[in-house]
Amino acid sequence: MGILQQTKKIPTENEIKKTMQSVGIQRLIVKNNILIKNTDNVRINLSSLAKGYAVDLISNYLNQNNITNYLVEIGGEIRTLGKKNNGSWIVGVVKPYSSKYQSQINFKLNDLAIATSGTYHNYIIYEGEHYSHLIDPISGKPINNNIISMTVITQSCLDADGLATALELTGVEKALKIADRKNLPVYIIYKRNNKINTIASKSFEKFVKINGVKV
């Protein structure tokens, strides 16, 4: 299931081109620890990091108060420490388009953080075409690389949240190359030839402990 929005209009090429004149890290400079924009109409949107950042804030607060066993979750972004009463924390990646929030895969997550970015939850339909809510910063248009969801495991939920979005923008092959080069646990659900497929980076495979799931 997803948050489906119908729209009667999409931006024209000229509107996209004009908007792109205010897009990019080069539109910002840091001076004396102050962030300054050097182009009009620049806005900073931190929504791809907000949940991960909030999870880390809560986790750090628990750490400071000597809480040694917890699972903090906000909107699917998770960070764990220690274990629960009956064993390890078990987390899962949601199966896309599932009406009952079934898991595509389950595994143990101890003393780590996880975040997933997906194109199946927030999107719009225009003239029968599916448009992702994630925008390619180079083209200015919604991504169209067949990735359905990108899951990343790191120490910090802020890092996992940001990396999941960034890697999803790169596409399956490039994301895997980056993940393997950085020894980053990554799990990708993607569509190819009208079939849903999964693939994982080499360092992710050690997390697959439950149900004999193959990646």
CATH number at residue 57: 3.10.520.10
For the chain, the average pLDDT equals 88
Q: How many CA atoms lie within 13 A of 144 on its CB side?
A: 7
Helices and strands of the chain, counted as H and E runs: 4, 13
Q: How far apart are CA 198 and CA 149, in angstroms?
A: 10
**Going along 8-140, which residue ranges are E strands?**
28-31, 34-37, 70-74, 77-81, 90-94, 103-108, 113-118, 122-126, 129-132
Looking at residue 1, its pLDDT comes to 40
* Chain segment 141-161, per-residue pLDDT in tens: 888 888 999 999 999 999 999
The residue assigned the tokens 């497929």 is 197
Q: Is 26 a domain residue?
A: no
Q: Is 138 a domain residue?
A: yes
Q: Is 173 a domain residue?
A: yes
Q: Is 76 a domain residue?
A: yes
- Does the structure show a pLDDT above 50 at 213? no
* Chain segment 154-185, per-residue pLDDT in tens: 999 999 999 999 999 999 999 999 999 999 99
- Does the structure show a pLDDT above 80 at 189? yes
Q: Is 33 a domain residue?
A: no
Count of domains in the chain?
1
Between vectors from CA 132 to CA 197 and to CA 192, what angle results, nearest 5°? 20
State pTM to two decimals.
0.86
Give 128's pLDDT tier (boundaries 50, 70, 90).
Answer: confident
Give 7's pLDDT tier (boundaries 50, 70, 90).
Answer: low
For residue 112, give its domain range: 46-207
Q: Is 1 a domain residue?
A: no
For the record, the structure tokens of 167 come out as: 């890697």
Q: Is 198 a domain residue?
A: yes
Q: Is 182 a domain residue?
A: yes
